[in-house]
Amino acid sequence: MALAATACNGGNDSPEAKNTAPSASADKQRELPPALTKQQALAAIDRYARVNNKANADRDRTLLDTIEDGPLYAMSVSDYKETEGLTKAERKPYKPWAYDIQNSRLYIPRIAAGQPRWFAAALSGTKGKAPSRLAVFAEQPQHKRWEMVSVADLYGADLPKVALDSDGYAAAVAANGDKDVAAGADLLRSGVLDNFATGGQNSGKKIFTKSKASSQQIMVHDRTVPKYGSQGTSTFAGATNRHRDAYALKTTDGGALVFFSHSHTQTDAVARSELQLNPGKDDRAWLYDVPRRSIRYTFVCNDAATVPAKAAPSTLLAYTCARTAASGPPVNSASLPRA
């Protein structure tokens, strides 16, 4: 039985409306300094791309660790591992890339003293094209540098309408709890996990309104679960999430743009003892071309969603997943037939 893991997957003249009738709380917010200047943010994005190219060319984990952290670093290191499992003939030559800095959209929050500093950006990897990814950078004060901690592919062309003040800076809100957002990161995470596990039938379609990103996750479930027919099963489930940091920005409608991460598993298993799962070349780094009775893949994913001001379904805008582990009991006899 052949198988393959399902991957589940400038200036700032942006279209976001600026608040023109400030409230007392808005006045207090504007007294706070921004996490960094727009020029510093653009420099951090440019540095990320330059160093990332160097690190990727040699799969240099130490160098990569100077520009990435959190779930993104785990995803990138996993990509290195997958490449190292391929033969030299199977590996594709590395192609350097760059963000279109001048076409980026910056969402820099004002941050209170003592709070972690971070900012978000909508980024394009193709010059002259609209942004196609949402990224979060966080400051690593012990190293005096900014590192990308999350990036997710946008599904659809519409950018989130982040509220910006008269100076072009955003307002950060708490990403969890119900004080600042109608649906916190934990609730959003449970909806995403349900999209994969049940196709959204339990909570996913209640937590999220229909969107291209949510529909894509549901499609992954719908296509993957029946793929083996009567010869095997494929199921999704939530997994221990080591990356629980979440970030949120106020939007023009009084809601929030929330960035969060999740982890899930995909478990493939044969239906009968005379069958076996044959790992593909992309699994080799973890499974060594050894046939298995079952295989459990673990994925780490970054997500972004907009949450309305009052209780109502949220909208999943972006997500990206990467397989970070694979394991399963090997078949003892090499003489068994392959399905």
Q: What is the pLDDT of residues 108-126, one digit of tens each?
A: 999 999 999 999 999 999 9
For the chain, the domain total comes to 1
Q: What 3-state DSSP class applies to 62?
A: helix
In a domain, 141, yes or no: yes
In a domain, 10, yes or no: no
Nearby residues of 334 by Cβ (< 8 Å), 6 or more positions away: 291
Q: Any idea which residue has 């999740």 for tokens? A: 262
In a domain, 8, yes or no: no
Strands (E), the chain: 105-107, 109-110, 118-123, 133-140, 145-153, 170-171, 232-238, 247-250, 256-270, 294-307, 315-327
In a domain, 162, yes or no: yes
Q: What residues make up the domain containing 122?
A: 24-327
In a domain, 338, yes or no: no
Note if the pTM is more than 0.85: yes
In a domain, 15, yes or no: no
Per-residue pLDDT tens for 250-267? Answer: 999 999 999 999 999 999
Whether 6 shows a pLDDT value over 80: the answer reads: no
Per-residue pLDDT tens for 33-89? Answer: 999 999 999 999 999 999 999 999 999 999 999 999 999 999 999 999 999 999 999
Whether 27 shows a pLDDT value over 80: the answer reads: no
In a domain, 173, yes or no: yes
